[in-house]
Amino acid sequence: MSSLGSPRTPCNGIDGKPVARGVPVLAVWLRDLVISLAISAFIIIFLYQPVKVEGTSMMPSLDDQERIFVNKFVYRWEPIERGDIVVFRYPRDPSKSYIKRVIGVAGDRIRINSGQVYVNDEALEEDYVPAMYADERSYPETTVPPHSYFMLGDHRSMSNDSRDFGPVKDGYIYGKAVFGYWPMDKLGRLR
């Protein structure tokens, strides 16, 4: 019959010497903390970045001051697609970041007639742009250049987008907005 020892018998290590309880617990806790911080740093630096939306150009999909996660790694494995919400460096001032929806990819012909967007001569159905966020602005037909994307904000009357600064080169795009986490009523995947 084996026993764990009586309350008066010290716990012995592998070498038979008593084991001090306080130091190993602290060492294990510190080790776990360092590993957790390293994993968190890796995720934030290389995979997901928390971002605060500033402005109203993506309403109602994204509200001003909403907190979201941006996947910075996804476009290494899959192409940027029409409908994606992406974060990119503003072409006229790369120190600023913008968030917009991809409307056209390289080779697409884009035109806007009185607010209706056409991609390759087909009217684009945009259920993410309610009537109160639409505008009557027109834009002449343009072909999206190679390695570039045409971006529009969902709040068309309040958005500075490709209608103003032209298509965005793929090198400026650094992530896909994937998940909202604050406020709690907006918690979930972005579409």
Rounded CA separation 113/4 (Å):
82
Rounded CA separation 54/62 (Å):
10
What tokens were used for 115? 């607010």
What tokens were used for 170? 């793929």
Active site residues: 57, 100
101-158 pLDDT, tens digit per residue, is 999 999 999 999 999 999 999 999 999 999 999 999 999 999 999 999 999 999 999 9
3-class DSSP assignment, residue 131: helix
Cβ atoms of 82 and 102 within 8 Å: the answer is yes
3-class DSSP assignment, residue 113: strand
* Amino acid letter, 156: R
Residue 187 pLDDT class (50, 70, 90 cuts): confident
pTM: 0.77
Instruction: Give counts: helices (H), strands (E), the chain.
Output: 2, 12
State the Cα angle at 126 between 122 and 132, rounded to 5°.
130
CATH number of 50-189: 2.10.109.10
Q: Residue 77: exposed, middle, or buried by beta-carbon count in 10 A (0-12, 13-18, 19+)?
A: exposed
72-103 pLDDT, tens digit per residue, is 989 989 999 999 999 999 999 999 999 999 99
